[in-house]
Each structure stands twice: as C-alpha cells, then as structure tokens.
Copies of this chain bind each other. A is one copy, B any other.
C-alpha cells in the first residue's frame, strides 16, 4: 500500500486532479473542465469520479489519506470559495462540505498561491525553512506567506494578498477597483502594460513594434529582451524595480529566510532575477542586508499546482488543525 493524497487545482477553465505520494511523486492526473459545470454540486460529483478513477486504477496499491484543494477566492477557515470572478459558481460555494459528502478524510482548501507555498515547503526549496514567502507571478500576482512553519491567514482568513500592496498613490487601475496595486506592475499583464506605456512615451521602438498591443504577451517580451531589445529590457528593469520595492516591504514586515518566485513571469528567469537582485542591493535597508535569499521555486512546473494542492493535505496530516 502506498499512502497518497489527492491534489486538486481548481482553475477557471480547467481543474486538475492528481494523485501524489509523500515523496512528491505524481502518479497520474485527470483534467476536469470547470467551465462546463455551472452547478458546483455537479462539478464535485465529477471530481469524485476523477478521484475514484485515479484510485481504482490500482485499488490494491493506493491508500488515500487526504485531499488538498487550491482554488481562487478560497477561504481556509470556512472551507468555501467566495464570489470568484473567474469561476462559474456565484456567491459562496461550500467546497469542503460538498467533498466531505464523498470522503470522510482531512480536506484542506485554500487559494492557489498558498498551495504553492505549502508545496514549496513539503516538496520544494523551502523544506527546511519556517519563514518564507512565495510570490506567484502569472496573469496577476499571488502570494503565500509562511511564518513559524504555518501559512499566514490572519483575522479574516485572507492574509497574504501581496498583489494588492499599494505601490503608487495614483497608479494603474487594478481589477480590485484600487489604483497602484503591485500586480498591475509585476505580473504578465503588468509587464505588457509597461511595454505599451514605454512605447507611448516615445521610447525607441524595437522588435516588439511589429505586434499590435493585443498580440503582446510576456513570452514575446521575454524573447525580445533575451535577444537584446532595449525596450523589452527597459520593461524588465522597471518591473524588477517595483518587484524589489515589494520584496523590501515584505522583508521589513516578516523578515523571511527566502522569497521564492513562481509562475509564468518568473519563467523569464535571469531577465527578471538579475535586475531585481541589483535593485535589492540598492534598496534593502542596512539591517536586513544578507538576511534573506531570492530564489526560484524548485517545484517541477508541469505538476506544480497539483503538488501544491496535495501538499496542503500532507501538511494537514502532519500538523492537524481543528476548525
């Protein structure tokens, strides 16, 4: 018998269900098309079928110990998904309760960035750390903050929304309704906006001028920068300056041992990491110099979301909470 957990990564278009052991081996995954289930109850029934299929393929082999779920707008305390703009279910969905109808096991639900952080702690580069932060740089910017070995949820259950750190009093308009939020600058969407703004401000156009604004994306910008395009490099420089400010604000707050970058924009690798490190040399207050490291996530990218979600279950099994 191999003890396993199920990891479920709920996304707007697709959700991925995977079966993972404590060594972080992902045996198999099944994709469930979220957007085809306007009814959450029917979606959970489909999740159950997927889980059964993963387990039954070799029932003798696997012993299921728990289920972890990463989802947008998830509330850990209540086990709910609340008013998600990008999921088909309106209002409050009691996801944990719905799954408990099928599985009488530890079930943990939190947002995807928190799942990434626990994934880093159980399977990745933070295995020996008690204080660290994961920043997920995708369409937006998510974050998972671990303090004393535990995810930070705060009084509301929604702590760790660093994407909405207020960077400029009258900055870019954010999807949350505020101006100047970090994720309007430091994300795939943010760097695209920066390229467009630089071009509008008269920065000499380079290879990116052949694309219409709606065709631009962070991959094209990274390729242009890689090839030495000055506008693309300037966009990475500006993005990394604001990322460095946000990292300084993170360090003066919770003084983590490391900050991990994860996700689409982080794939730009050294294009982002090197200028950010330079800015950090300049911007880190003297009493924090050398006190933290800036690292890339070491989770295998293909399975990172499922690993992170399953890690929520492994973490709960190690340190049971009651709520």
Which chain A residues have a beta carbon within 8 Å of chain B's beta carbons?
Answer: 130-131, 145, 147-148, 150, 152-166, 169, 174, 176-178, 181, 241-242, 245, 248-250, 252-257, 283, 285-288, 291-292
Given the contacts A176-B286, A286-B177, A158 and B245 also touching, CB distance less than 8 Å: no
Contact indicator B291/A158 (Cβ below 8 Å): yes
Supplied contacts A147-B154, A160-B255, A166-B249, 18 more A-B pairs, CB within 8 Å: A131-B154, A131-B155, A147-B152, A154-B256, A155-B255, A155-B291, A156-B291, A156-B292, A158-B287, A158-B291, A162-B252, A164-B285, A165-B249, A176-B285, A176-B286, A177-B285, A177-B286, A249-B249
The answer to whether B255 touches A164 (Cβ under 8 A) is no
Q: Is B155 within 8 A of A256, CB to CB?
A: yes
- Nearest CB of chain B from residue A84's CB, rounded to whole Å: 11
The smallest beta-carbon distance between A61 and chain B, in angstroms, is: 39
* Residues on the B chain within 8 Å of A253, using CB: 145, 159-160, 162, 165, 250, 253-254
> CB distance B159 to A254 under 8 Å?
yes
Residues of chain B within 8 A (CB-CB) of A164 are 248, 252, 285
20 A-B residue pairs with Cβ-Cβ distance under 8 Å, sorted by A, are A147-B154, A148-B150, A154-B254, A154-B255, A156-B255, A156-B288, A159-B252, A160-B252, A161-B285, A164-B252, A164-B285, A165-B253, A166-B245, A166-B249, A166-B283, A174-B285, A177-B285, A178-B285, A253-B253, A253-B254
Copies in the complex: 2
Nearest Cβ distance between residue A86 and chain B, in whole angstroms? 14
Tell me the bound Cα distance from A150 to B153 in angstroms. Answer: 14
- Contacts A256-B154, A256-B155; A248 near B166 (Cβ below 8 A): yes
Name the 7 nearest CB pairs between A and B, nearest first: A154-B255, A159-B255, A155-B257, A156-B291, A161-B252, A131-B155, A156-B255
Query: How far does the Cβ of A250 sit from chain B's closest Cβ, in whole Å?
Result: 8
> Does B155 lie within 8 Å of A288, measured CB to CB?
no
Most chain B CB atoms below 10 A, which of A153, A169, A245, A286: A169
CA distance A174 to B145 in the complex (A): 28
Provide the bound-state CA to CA distance between A275 and B157, in Å. 28
A176 closest partner in B (C-beta): B285
Residues of B within 8 A of A161 (CB): 252, 285, 287-288
Residues of B within 8 A of A242 (CB): 169
**Is the Cβ of B286 less than 8 Å from the Cβ of A158?**
no
What residue in chain B is nearest A179 (Cβ atoms)?
Answer: B283
- List residues of chain B with CB within 8 A of the CB of A255: 153-160
Q: Are A152 and B254 in contact (CB under 8 A)?
A: yes
Nearest CB in chain B to that of A154: its residue? B255
**Which residues from B are CB-within-8-Å of A174?**
285
Q: Which residue of B lies closest to A244 (CB)?
A: B166
Residues of B close to A248: CB separation below 8 A: 164-166
Contact of A285 among B157, B181, B283, B287 (CB under 8 A): B181
Residue from B158, B169, B291 within 8 A of A288 (CB atoms): B158
Give min CB distance, A40 to chain B, whole Å: 20
